[in-house]
Structure 1
Amino acid sequence: MTDLRIAIVGFGKIARDQHLSAIAATPGATLAAVASRNASLPDLPHFATIEELLEQGPPIDAVSLCTPPQVRRAQAAAALAAGKHVMLEKPPGTSVAELDPLIAMAADAKRTLFATWHSRHAPAVEPARAWLATRRIKSVHINWKEDVRIWHPGQAWIWEPGGLGVFDPGVNALSILTRILPRPVFVTAAELAFPSNCQAPIAANLTLTDLAGLPVTAEFDFRQIGPQSWDILVEADQGQMTLSRGGRIMAVDGKVVADAPDEEYRELYHRFVELAATGASDVDLAPLRLVADAFLLGRRTLVEPFVV
C-alpha cells in the first residue's frame, strides 16, 4: 500500500506547530507539497494557492486545509472536484449549512471529507466518556480561558466575520463536551462580549442543557493572563470528575486516573489515512451547531477595543 500523499494548504502557526510533525509521525502518510502565500519549506514543492497546487503541482491524493475558516469551503470544493481527499482543520467552516454540499460532493466522488476536532483525541477524553457512561451526571461546568496574543499572534482573521473569536478555542471544549456526554445538549442562553472594534466575541458565557434538564455552563475568555485554563468539571453521583489541560488529564475526586502525552494531531492523521483508504467521510457538526446557536441566541455587549 502506497502512502497517502498530502499537501498542506495554509502554512501558518498551527500547520508548523502541529501538522508537520504529525504527518511525519504517521505511517502511511507523507507530505508532498505546500500551498501558502507567505510560507514554504525547503526542498518541498510550493505554490501560492490551492488552484496552482491542483493545476501545476506534483501528484497528490489529499489536502489538509489549515487556512482560516472563511476560505475553506471554496478550497474544499476545489479539492473534491479534483478528486482529492480533504481534511478540514477546526472549525470546519464559517456556517453549518455550507458543509452540506461538501458532504454530498465527497459522497458522489467517493472521496473522504474529514472534519477534525483535535481535542476529542486528547488522551483522557475516552476514559472520561467511559466513566460518565455508568454514572448519573448532576452538572457540568467548562472553564476555557487563554491569552489570544499567545495562541493567535497577529491573526486579524479571527476577529472578522466567520473568524469565531473566542469560539475558535471554545469549540474545542464543545467538541469534548459533545463526545463525553451520553445525551445531546443544546444552548438555552448566551452572553457574548464583543470588542468595539471587532466583529467576533472576545468572551462568552453559555448556558446549555439536555432533554433531561442537565445544567451545563461554559465560560470562554480570550483575555486570560498567566496560567491558561482548559478545564471541564463534572459533578456526578459517584464523585467529581475533572478534565484538565484540554482533555489531557482526568482526575476523579482529585486523584489523577488518566494522563498521557499529547498526540492529538497524530491521531487525526492516523484517522485520515484510515478513512481515505475506503473513501469514507467523518463529519460531525454537533460542536459547530452549538456555536451557531450561541450566536443566534446570544445577548451582545460591547467591551473595550482589542489591539491585535
Structure 2
Amino acid sequence: MSAIKLAIVGVGKIVHDQHLPAIAANPDYQLIASASRNHTVDGIPGFKSIEEMLAQMPEIEAVSLCMPPQYRYSAAHAALTAGKHVFLEKPPGATLSEVADLEALAASKGLTLFTSWHSRYAPGVQPAKAFLAANAPASMHVIWKEDVRHWHPNQDWIWQAGGLGVFDPGINALSIVTEILPERIFLSGASLEFPDNREAPIAADLHFQSAGALRVHAEFDWRQTGKQSWDVLVETAKGQVKLSDGGSRLWIDGVEQPLEKEAEYPSLYRVFADLVKAGKSDVDVAPLRHVADAFMLGKRKVVDAFHD
C-alpha cells in the first residue's frame, strides 16, 4: 500500500511538538497540506480553511484534526463527506452526540474514524493494565495538577464553553483510568470550581465507583505551581501500582519497572495507519463520557477570578 496522503488541520504548538515529528518518522504517511487560520507548515501548501483545502486538493486521503474541540465537528463532517479518513485529537469533540454522528457518517461511507487518546500510549500504561488484570484493584487515587499558565498561556478557547477547562488535561488521566481498570466505573459525585470570570472549571474533585466494591477518587487542578503532578495510584493485595509523570514511569509494590521509550504520538499514527489499511474505525468515548457526567452531576462552586 502506498503512503497515505495526509493533511493536518489546526496548526498549533501540539502539532509542531508532537504531530509533525511523528508523521515525518512514519513511512506510512506523506504530509501534503495543512489548513489553519493563523499558521502553516513549512514545505507544503497551506490553506485558511479545511473547505478550501479539500476543494483544491482532492488527492488528500486522510486528515488529522487538531483544532479546539468546539470547531472539530464541522471540520470532521466536511472531511468525511469528502471521502477522507479522520484522525481526531483529544478530546474527540465538544459533545458526545457530535462524535456519535461522526461515527455513523464514517460507517456509512466505509471510512476510518479514530478517536485518539495519546496518554494511553505512555510506556507505563500497558504494564500497569496487565498487572491489574491479574491483581484486582481495591481503590484508586488520581492526582492530576498542573499550572495552566505554563501549559496554556493566553488560550481563551480553553476557558470557553466546550473548551473543557481543567478537563483538557484531566481527560488524559481519565483515558488512562478507563484503559487500565479491569471493570467499568461510573461517577457518583463531583464538585467543580469555576472562576467567576470563566465558563469552564479550573478544578474538579470526582468520585467514581464500580458495580462492585471499587472506589476511585480523582483530583484535577490547574493552579499548581512548582512540580507538576500527573499520578495514578492503585492499591491491590499485591502492593501499590503507581503511574507517575503522565504514565511515563511505573512502580509496582515500591519497585520502579523498566519501560520502553516514550512514543505516544508515533504510536497513535501507527494505529491510525493500521486502521486505514484494515478499513476499520476506533471510536472510544469513555473518557469524554466521564467528563460529560461530571458537568451533569457536579456541584458548581464559584471561586476567585482567573487572569493569565
Report TM bin, short chain: over 0.9
Kept in 2, the 8 Å contact 1:45–1:58? The answer is no
Does residue 162 in structure 1 map to residue 169 in structure 2?
no
Give, in whole Å, the separation in 2 of the partners of 1:259 and 1:219. 26
Kept in 2, the 8 Å contact 1:173–1:246? The answer is yes
The aligned amino acid for 1:185 is I
Give, in whole Å, the separation in 2 of the partners of 1:256 and 1:86. 37
Give, in whole Å, the separation in 2 of the partners of 1:126 and 1:174. 15
User: How high is the TM-score relative to the length of structure 1?
Assistant: 0.98
Indicate the residue corresponding to 2:22 in structure 1: 22
What is the correspondence of 1:212-223 to structure 2 with a 5 Å cutoff?
212-223=212-223
Give, in whole Å, the separation in 2 of the partners of 1:304 and 1:72. 31
Indicate the residue corresponding to 1:181 in structure 2: 181
Task: Assess, with a 3 A threshold, how the Cα gap between structure 1 residues 58 and 100 changes in structure 2: closer, same or farther.
Answer: closer
SS of structure 1 residue aligned to 2:205: strand
Kept in 2, the 8 Å contact 1:27–1:270? The answer is no
- Counting aligned pairs with the same residue, the percent is 55
Moved more, 125-134 or 57-66: 57-66
Indicate the residue corresponding to 1:243 in structure 2: 243
Residue 58 of structure 1, CA deviation? 6.0
Gap regions ≥5 residues in structure 1 = none
CA shift digits 1:15-48 (9 cap, x unpaired)? 1111000101123112111100111122210000
Indicate the residue corresponding to 1:277 in structure 2: 277
Give, in whole Å, the separation in 2 of the partners of 1:30 and 1:252. 41
Kept in 1, the 8 Å contact 2:146–2:228? The answer is yes
The aligned amino acid for 1:143 is I
Indicate the residue corresponding to 1:135 in structure 2: 135
The aligned amino acid for 1:2 is S
Gap regions ≥5 residues in structure 2 = none
Residue 213 of structure 1, CA deviation? 2.5
Does residue 207 in structure 1 map to residue 207 in structure 2?
yes
SS of structure 2 residue aligned to 1:273: helix
SS of structure 2 residue aligned to 1:246: helix
The aligned amino acid for 2:194 is F
Give, in whole Å, the separation in 2 of the partners of 1:307 and 1:58. 44
Indicate the residue corresponding to 1:126 in structure 2: 126
Residue 169 of structure 1, CA deviation? 0.5
Kept in 1, the 8 Å contact 2:83–2:109? The answer is yes
Does residue 45 in structure 1 map to residue 55 in structure 2?
no
Count the aligned residue pairs. Answer: 308
Question: Which 4+ residue blocks in structure 1 deviate beyond 3 angstroms?
Answer: none
CA shift digits 1:213-265 (9 cap, x unpaired)? 31100000111101111100000011011001111111012211143322100
The aligned amino acid for 1:270 is R
Give, in whole Å, the separation in 1 of the partners of 2:118 and 2:71. 20
Indicate the residue corresponding to 1:302 in structure 2: 302
Give, in whole Å, the separation in 2 of the partners of 1:117 and 1:106. 19
Indicate the residue corresponding to 2:6 in structure 1: 6
Kept in 2, the 8 Å contact 1:7–1:60? The answer is yes
Residue 136 of structure 1, CA deviation? 2.5
SS of structure 2 residue aligned to 1:277: helix
